[in-house]
Structure 1
Amino acid sequence: MDGSVAGDAERTVSGPQSAHLRAGATDSRARIARRFERPIDISDMGIRLSARANRSINPYVQVFDVDGNKINFRAPIRGGLSFQPFDFGISKVGGSPDLSAVEEIRITVWAGEGQAVDVWCDDLALVERSETGTVVVQFDDGNLTDYSEAFPVLEEHGFTASTFVCPGSIGADGKLGLSELSELRDAGWDVASHTVDHEHLSALDEAAQEAQIAGAKDWLVDHGFERGAEYLVYPFGEYDQTTLNLADRYHELSFAGGYPGYGRPTNRHVIQRVSSPDVETATRAIDIAAAYDGITVLFYHQLTANSEPTRSAFASTMSHLADRESNGDLRVVPARDLESIVV
């Protein structure tokens, strides 16, 4: 069964009302659709939707061409926030969609068996894509393998990356020390913030969150990493409204989990990333960026012979990325280069 859709004049971003999609515990989904009298051309555009939800969920914006081929766009929406603009990445391509002849757009929310969800949608917009596909490589937690394993692989291809570190663990066993961080910085890497102690930010009050966020930035600036100090990754990908407000106060860009291939970011503090992808997942995410002139951010943790993915798998992914770059299909940039294309 489908859920319900109603206008809500009390919750809105622009215009007189938002669309309130509700899927009850006995509903499989809620959906709203727009079919165009004449096909529209969105071939150079990404999808942005302002939304809020009562719990965390990953809704779809589905785009269908005149022959029924489609692209499923998705974005993770955290529950309990005020309206936020979310840039939707690509989760699935069905057939060979012609984005110059789009006939229908649907917003669909799947509730999950025995669960209910309320999602408010407003200001569905088309956003310009970059002139070419863009891929960013990142590493979380400040593991020593960023330097010992990833750095040589990336240097071989002329790529740089970003390492997001926690000052509370700098120099600990298996973690990067100041000498490695300085060498990475001098090689063009961004040394950026993962907060002081890698806490679950949404479980902390405002003062404690600010101590984690501001404290890490202060440490980075004090130790010569001013450039990377402008960028933040939320530990565990978790954030609430307080986190977003603090991120906006202290940082230029902030990153969370999500999907590949989105257009120019419109929300600088919820930039999506693909988590620890194996070769198949990473290759697909890279190819989506190339095919649709989208942005794909790949991030990794520790790289060893037994990690997921392994160092060998990471090297294979970077070889594929280098092939696509050398063919002129995309560019590989550090996090700081995203600042110039944020809408």
Structure 2
Amino acid sequence: MKRTTSRRAFIAAAVTSGVAVAGCSQLQGSTDGNETSATSPTDDGSGTPNGGGTETQDYHYTDRGSVLDDFEDLSNWGTIRGTQIAETNDVYKGDQSVRVKNPSGGGAGIFRAFPDGLDLTDQDLSIAGKLESPRPGKLAVEVIAPARSDHLVCRRYIPDTMDDWMRIDLGYTGKRGEPDLSNVQEIRLIVLSDDEPINFVVDDLRTIPKPVDSGRVLLSFNNVRASHYDIAFQELQRRGWSAMETVDPDEVNSNNALTTGQLREMRDAGWDITSLPSPNTPLPELSTKEQRRVIKDTKEYLDLKGFTDGKQFMTIDSDKFDRETLQVIRDHHEYGFTFGASPNTVPPVENATVSQVYGNDLNGSARMINLAAQYNQLAVITFPDIGPNSPVPESEFMQLMNIIEDWGDNLQVVTPSDLLEMEQNL
């Protein structure tokens, strides 16, 4: 009983501590407290764009949900800091987006009020964004529900290599007070910097219905470390859970790594054995042709070894990608996973950049798990090596597993295959 009480106290503390304010709140002198380090032709894959746009665009559109604002009319949007202008030359969808700039840096953003209240109780938000400066950086979205003392925030990390539009699932990374999502009075879109000029564009803000009434957590284990079998697999078997393992073929059967036999045992227990293409050069520094070869070769290795379900999914090595990388991922895989420092919608709207958080940050991981459970979203937690002299001590790993279990029916452990099945049944 003492152990459970301690864990529940940790749950409560992790949700509220240091995550209260982000975005324009920070412009007023507060801090988010939710920083996560920034150092860190179709095959049988995931389809093609299904939306509109101009003839010169080939972005990955979605028809899920409803358009909340297409930014064709900016009369409802006010400026927090910096300037906003109608952008007609760099558009994600339709004829116009909105560009927000502040050459002096510090912060820039826009807001829209909903005087009659916006009900997001059973809906998430998704937006298309392009961050030109700072890079890397984070797009912050605040949901004021109904006042500044009661709001939620999403902060999504965008790497320096991403030079174009991407769709962003707005999973909540922090909250203040007791937000009432049935009465959202304002939405704020903000980028912060340390004096670096700010320049970003957003478009196609959508509401996405929640198809589930509980949260989801996906546990990812990175690059076939032996501890993933010795510690993680044994523990998850005891709890009746499955997970995903990412595979660089050059690491399998090497020192302190998983063997092919262990990977097959994990597969047979319900794990997805997935792709981790790991070229010596980051993917965005390769030509599109070479990116395609590397990604396809790793997938074919999994297929030859019998991991036919897991081959549908890929994790982006070193969290570096550009527009070409994402297109190749969509051509060959159903989902791509990368560091984003935030949860996701269930199932993800943007399939090529499903956001992960690092499991070696105990407090940050616990916070994302707890918020996902509270707001029926998806937290993907990725683990490197586990154990003594490793990034994740075994005791902290067990603590996170206990936190997940304590949520009971309010939080389900899933695999990428589970998410894909859910998406296909929408």
For residues 129 and 74 of structure 1, do their structure 2 counterparts lie closer, same or farther at Cα, with a shift above 3 Å needed?
farther
| Structure-2 change in CA distance of 1:107 and 1:272 (3 Å) | same
Q: Counterparts of 2:270 and 2:222 in 1: how far apart (Å)?
A: 17
Give the corresponding residue for 1:330: 411
* Equivalent position to 2:201, from 101, 107, 120: 120
Instruction: Give the conservation status (yes or no) of the 8 Å contact 1:161–1:189.
Output: yes
CA distance in 2, matches of 1:211, 1:30: 40
Unaligned runs of 5+ residues in structure 2 are 1-26, 28-80
8 Å CA contact 1:22–1:30 kept in 2: the answer is yes
What one-letter code is carried by the residue in structure 1 that aligns with 2:96? Answer: Q
Aligned residue for 1:292? Answer: 375
Matched, 1:41 2:126: no
Q: Aligned equivalents of 2:358 and 2:414: distance in 1?
A: 18
Report the Cα offset of residue 228 of structure 1.
0.4
- Runs of at least 4 residues off by over 4 Å: 196-199
1:60 Cα shift? 0.8
Secondary structure class of the residue paired with 1:66: coil
State the match for 2:153 in structure 1. 72
Q: Distance in 2 between the 1:28 and 1:88 partners?
A: 22
The 5 Å alignment of 1:1-343 reads 2-24=81-103, 26-54=104-132, 55-68=135-148, 69-79=150-160, 80-113=162-195, 115-131=196-212, 132-197=214-279, 199-264=281-346, 265-324=348-407, 327-342=408-423
8 A Cα contact 1:202 1:238, kept in partner: yes
Contact kept in structure 2, 1:260 and 1:294, CA below 8 Å:
no
1:87 & 1:241 partners in 2: Cα distance?
17
Aligned partners of 2:256, 2:169: CA distance in 1, in Å?
A: 35
**What amino acid is the match of 1:46?**
D
The answer to whether the Cα contact below 8 Å between 1:88 and 1:259 also exists between their aligned partners in 2 is no
* Range moving further from structure 2, 227-236 or 128-137: 128-137
CA offsets 1:94-116 (integer angstroms, 9 cap, x no match): 11111111101110111222x11
Within 1, Cα distance between the matches of 2:211 and 2:362? 25
Q: How far apart are the structure 1 equivalents of 2:289 and 2:92?
A: 29
Match of 2:238, SS state, is: helix
How far 1:199 sits from its partner (Å)? 4.5
State the AA in 2 paired with 1:336: S
Q: Structure 1: which 5+ runs fail to align?
A: none
Q: How far did residue 82 of structure 1 move?
A: 3.0
Asked if the contact 2:107–2:198 (Cα under 8 Å) also holds between the matched residues in 1, the reply is: no
- Indicate how the Cα distance of structure 1 residues 128 and 328 shifts in structure 2: closer, same or farther if over 3 A, else same: same
1:264-307 CA-partner distances (Å, limit 9, x unpaired): 31110010011124433322222111110111111101001222
**1:213 & 1:39 partners in 2: Cα distance?**
46
Q: Which amino acid in 1 is paired with 2:111?
A: A
Q: Structure 1, residues 236-287: CA drift from partner, whole Å, max 9, x if none?
A: 1111111111101110110011234432311100100111244333222221
1:54-107 CA distance string (max 9 Å, x none): 233211111102232111112223454332211122221011111111101110
CA RMSD, 1 decimal: 1.7
Normalising by structure 2, we get a TM-score of: 0.76
When the two structures are aligned, how many residues end up with a matched partner?
A: 339
Q: 1:19 to 1:311 in 2, by over 3 A?
A: same
CA deviation vs aligned residue, 1:198-251 (integer Å, no higher than 9, x gap): 641112222321222111001000010111000000001111111111101110
